Amino acid sequence: MTTLYGISNCDTVRKTRKWLESNGIAFEFHDFRKEGLTRAQVDRWCDDQGSQIVLNKRGTTWRQLPVEQRDNLDEESLRALLVEHPTLIKRPVLEHNGTIRVGFKAEDYAGLFGV
């Protein structure tokens, strides 16, 4: 089972979806802006990849947070914030047979899927 998490209007997510489709890889798409996320999903990604990999500090949502909030995030409050504001998550997140990838690199996906 392969699930791609992201936001439908994100350019990187679109590029990833196109890559998966052109390589004949079946996947489900989960738009976390519309469908939300659970704490268990965020915990799984952060435990596997590290919360600083999962967190997108380059996006608008991060820049719009008050500086005091950004500067005083511990692990617990960061994970809660990611559930509350999923657009803070680097996109896309891919789950495939127990493997998690954050971001998109065609060569990494090719190795993961053996194409």
Going from N- to C-terminal start, the domains of the chain cover: 2-113
Residue 106's pLDDT band, with cuts at 50, 70 and 90, is very high
Vertex 105, ends 2 and 103: CA angle to 5°? 65
For residue 28, the cross-strand partners are: 3
Q: Residues in the chain, how many?
A: 115
Rounded Cα gap, residues 85 and 103, in angstroms: 18
* pLDDT tens readout for residues 55-67: 999 989 999 999 9
* pLDDT tens readout for residues 25-43: 999 999 999 999 999 999 9
Alpha carbon of 68 to those of 24, 61, 77, 90, 115: distances in Å?
A: 46, 15, 13, 22, 45
Q: What is the CA radius of gyration of the chain?
A: 14
pLDDT at 102: 98
pLDDT at 11: 96
Q: Which class is 2-113 in CATH?
A: alpha beta
With tokens 């495939």, the residue in question is 96
User: How much of the chain is helix, strand and coil, in % rounded to 5?
Assistant: 55, 15, 30
Residue 73's pLDDT band, with cuts at 50, 70 and 90, is very high
Mean pLDDT of the chain: 95
Asked about 10 being catalytic, the answer comes back as: yes
Q: What percent of the chain clears pLDDT 90, i.e. is strictly above it?
A: 94
Among 7, 10, 25, 53, the active-site one is 10
* Residue 111: burial class (beta carbons within 10 Å; 0-12, 13-18, 19+): exposed
Say how far residue 78 (Cα) sits from the centre of its chain.
14
